[in-house]
Every structure is written in structure tokens, then in C-alpha cells.
Amino acid sequence: MNTLLIVLLIVLLIAAVITAAGYLMPAQISFSESVVIDRQAAEIFPYLGDFEQFVTWSPWSEKDPNMTKTIEGERLSFGHKYAWKGNNKVGEGSMEITHIEANREIDILLNFGPRGNSETQFILEPTNGSTLVKWTFSTDLGTSPAARLFGPMMRKFIQKDYANGLQKLKQLVEK
């Protein structure tokens, strides 16, 4: 019986340490990736704010070429929406433009269903005849220690996808 009690205490101690570590992790995750594209903002902007164009360079389109996609609303405007449902690499969710300034900025609400909402943004800044394209991501992981523990790993994967996507965008636009 003592062995069982010791194993139970060790399991409880490990669970307590993991839970405490989760609460010590930040609730907010945010990052940005950027690339300089040798084109004017007006040439790049449609690839960001028109979801028909977005899917041509999106890093997730090649992760699941068979995903179901639905695009609604007026392109390059408030309320333009893109929804997807795919394999376990892309999951399901939607993106909706919540703010747009032509050739400068696009704010997008990401909805991942039960996993919650996040925000993403494209910012275009002119730089010596080229354009700096910045793609940001931010989310609130809430109070769940498990979600907070998963946050750094989520950041690593999404940030890598953002960097890959921006490189694809650069290649596409500069052709």
C-alpha cells in the first residue's frame, strides 16, 4: 500500500508542478514576421485583402490542398470573409476583415471555433521604392494552464508558417 501511496503522491506533485508552470506562462501570445517586397503597396494589397488571392500564397493551402474553402463578401472591404475546413494540419475556422485602409493596413479576426478567437494584421510601409509587409498575430490564451503551456509551441509553428507565407507572397508578387 505504501508504494501505491508514493506513486499517487508523485503523480499529484507532477500535476501540481505542471499546473503551476502553466499559470506562470503568459496569457497573451503575439509576434510578427515581415518581408520587403520589391513592389509598390498597391500591387501587393490585393493579395492580402482579397481572400481569393490570399489562398494562392497562404502557407496553409499547400498543407491541405483538398481543404474546403468558402469566400463571402466584397473583396478588399470590411466584412470580407474566408472560412476553411481541412485536415489536422490546418483545422477549421474563419477570417473576417474588421478594418481596412487601402494599401496600408488590414485587420482580421480569426475564429478557430471552440479554440477561440485571435487577431491578425497586415501592415504595409513604403521603403525606398519597395514595400515592407508586416504580418502580425495576437491571441489571449485565457486562464487555462494547459492552453498557456501550449502557447509557446503554437507560437513557434504559426510564426514559421507566417515567415513561409510571406516568402511565397514575395515570390508571387515579384514575378
Domain coordinates of the chain in residue numbers? 2-174
Give the chain's radius of gyration (CA, Å).
20
**Alpha carbon 96 to chain centroid distance?**
13
Question: So what's the pLDDT on residue 170?
Answer: 97
Q: What's 2-174's CATH class?
A: alpha beta
Q: What is the pTM of this model?
A: 0.85
> Which neighbouring-strand residues pair with 101?
105
Residue whose C-alpha cell is 508514493: 6
The model's pLDDT over 57-106, given as tens digits with 9 standing for 90+, comes to 999 998 998 999 999 999 999 999 999 999 988 889 999 999 999 999 99
Per-residue pLDDT tens over the stretch 107-121: 999 998 777 899 999
Q: What is the chain's percent helix, strand, coil content, to nearest 5? A: 40, 35, 25
Mean pLDDT of 145-149: 78
| pLDDT on residue 1 | 66
Provide, rounded to the nearest whole percent, the portion of the chain with pLDDT above 70.
Answer: 99
If pLDDT is split at 50, 70 and 90, which confidence band does 22 have?
A: low
How far are the Cα atoms of 13, 41, 89, 96, 101 from residue 17, in angstroms, in the given order?
Answer: 6, 49, 30, 39, 47
pLDDT at 125 over 90: yes
How many Cβ atoms sit within 10 Å of the Cβ of residue 2? 6
Q: What does DSSP assign to residue 40?
A: -
Cα distances (Å, whole numbers) of residue 125 to 12, 78, 121: 52, 21, 13
